[in-house]
């Protein structure tokens, strides 16, 4: 089997300003267990096989290693900067005045880029937790969402876009009430919103709200993040790739259930960003969106399979005195 995917067969999807973004990208969060070199090796392999969208973040701790791969690709790897769509995100401990610029400057230096394509506010709450902490860890600096606090971060994001350091700005882990409160205040609106999105957690209201507002949803954990950090696992969690509806459709198409999740996301109009260290898997993930689409009936069956099961609950972002993770998701 060929080691690359015909790029012309991987659809691009339109953004609200008429530009486009690849319909699928690669995630780069090593879930606290994959080391930076392993992730950047996978990015190098993914570039070779045809990925052009990479979802990065300062908190993933691997932007410097990924930057080396980008630099190599631009120098002799036959890839131009303009072909890539690279995202990064400001972490929750960099929400203070002046911090957002410092954070993007560090990401640009690490990624060895002059600009990113989209810079996200990773979470709409200020806090800090150490890498590898357990689920009950609480930061004394954690604060609940406030419109004022969020807008002070967003004003900094807008200035970064004005300066050309990012083409677009985006939000992540938002809810409809939060968006209703902040969108009317934005001078520059978010072009993309990252949200957890897989067949067991479809967030249809938020998804439709984004689309109605001209914001393209980017689906994270599109395979149900089987290797997510232990702190993000509970015994009740549904497994997207084991839902009977997904399994039967996978069998009908003769593919792994992971690929059904990705076809579904792309056909919904989301941009999934699956992570993989395994060449066979990341190659299959890219190829599957260019061939053998799901039928209307299969899309409908997956739509009805939603278990409304949030996996990334965000417990470690809770502030002292909060009742539980549901407080984050109004
Ligand atoms: N904005 C946010 O707050 C936020 C939150 C979470 C995640 N994200 C982003 O979303 C990305 C994706 O989420 P995620 O990494 O948590 O989970 P995911 O993409 O749902 O799942 C990744 C796991 O699935 C396995 N996998 C990948 N392709 C497969 C295939 N074809 N068949 C079988 N298994 C396969 C991988 O294992 P192998 O390595 O063995 O293939 C990997 O461990 C992250 O990397 C990150 O960039 C953003």
25 vs 323: which has the higher pLDDT: 25
pLDDT in tens, 156-212: 999 999 999 999 999 999 999 999 999 999 999 999 999 999 999 999 999 999 999
pLDDT at residue 320 above 90?
no
Instruction: Tell me the two tokens of residue 178.
Output: 């939060």
Q: Which atom of ligand 1 is nearest to the CA of 29?
A: 45
pLDDT in tens, 265-274: 999 999 999 9
Residues with catalytic annotation? Answer: 60
pLDDT in tens, 211-250: 999 999 999 999 999 988 888 889 999 999 999 999 999 9
List C-alpha distances in Å: 87 to 1, 18, 108.
30, 18, 10
Instruction: Tell me the two tokens of residue 322.
Output: 């909060």
328 and 126 in contact (C-beta within 8 Å)?
Answer: no
- Rounded to 5 degrees, what are φ and ψ at 265? -60, -45
pTM of the predicted model, to two decimals?
0.97
Q: What pLDDT score does 1 carry?
A: 58
Instruction: Tell me the two tokens of residue 111.
Output: 């990624």
Instruction: Tell me the two tokens of residue 215.
Output: 């914001």
Q: Going by C-beta distance under 8 Å and a sequence separation of 6 or more, which residues neighbour residue 50? A: 4, 5, 6, 7, 10, 286
Instruction: Tell me the two tokens of residue 263.
Output: 């076809």
- Helical H segments across the chain, by residue range: 36-49, 63-76, 99-111, 147-162, 176-182, 204-212, 244-253, 257-268, 279-288, 296-303
- CA nearest ligand 1 atom 8, residue: 220
From ligand 1's centre to the CA of 192, what distance in Å? 19
Pocket of ligand 1 (CB under 6 A): 27-29, 31, 55, 122, 172-173, 194, 220-228, 256, 258, 273-278, 281, 284-285, 312
The residue among 190, 171, 191 whose CA lies nearest residue 14 is 191
Q: Which neighbouring-strand residues pair with 54? A: 26, 86
The CATH class for the domain spanning 18-328 reads alpha beta
The whole-number average pLDDT for the span 38-42 is: 98
Q: What pLDDT score does 296 carry?
A: 98
From ligand 1's centre to the CA of 220, what distance in Å? 8
Alpha carbon distance 98, 101 (integer Å): 6
The whole-number average pLDDT for the span 57-64 is: 97
pLDDT at residue 148 above 90?
yes
The whole-number average pLDDT for the span 139-149 is: 91
């Amino acid at each position: 089997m060929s080691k690359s995917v015909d790029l012309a067969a991987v659809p691009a999807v339109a953004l609200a300003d008429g530009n486009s973004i690849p319909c699928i990208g690669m995630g780069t969060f090593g879930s606290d267990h994959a080391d930076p070199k392993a992730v950047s090796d996978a990015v190098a392999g993914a570039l070779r096989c045809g990925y052009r969208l990479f979802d990065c973040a300062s908190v993933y701790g691997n932007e410097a290693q990924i930057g080396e791969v980008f630099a190599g690709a631009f120098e002799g790897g036959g890839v131009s900067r303009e072909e890539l769509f690279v995202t990064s995100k400001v972490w929750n401990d960099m929400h203070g005045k002046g911090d957002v610029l410092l954070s993007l400057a560090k990401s640009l230096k690490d990624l060895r880029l002059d600009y990113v394509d989209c810079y996200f506010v990773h979470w709409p709450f200020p806090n800090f937790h150490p890498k590898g902490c357990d689920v009950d860890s609480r930061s004394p600096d954690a604060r609940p969402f406030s419109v004022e606090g969020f807008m002070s971060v967003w004003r900094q994001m807008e200035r970064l876009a004005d300066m050309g350091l990012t083409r677009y700005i985006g939000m992540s882990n938002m809810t409809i009430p939060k968006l209703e409160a902040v969108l009317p205040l934005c001078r520059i609106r978010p072009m993309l919103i990252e949200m957890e999105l897989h067949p067991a957690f479809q967030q249809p209201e938020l998804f439709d709200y984004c689309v109605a507002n001209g914001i393209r949803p980017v689906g994270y954990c599109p395979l149900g993040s089987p290797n997510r950090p232990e702190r993000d696992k509970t015994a009740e969690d549904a497994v997207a790739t084991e839902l009977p509806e997904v399994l039967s459709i996978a069998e009908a198409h003769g593919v792994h259930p992971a690929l059904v999740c990705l076809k579904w996301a792309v056909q919904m109009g989301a941009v999934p960003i699956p992570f993989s260290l395994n060449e066979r898997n990341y190659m299959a993930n890219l190829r599957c969106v260019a061939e053998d689409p799901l039928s209307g009936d299969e899309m409908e069956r997956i739509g009805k399979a939603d278990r409304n099961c949030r996996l990334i609950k965000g417990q470690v972002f809770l502030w002292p005195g909060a009742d539980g993770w549901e407080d984050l998701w109004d």
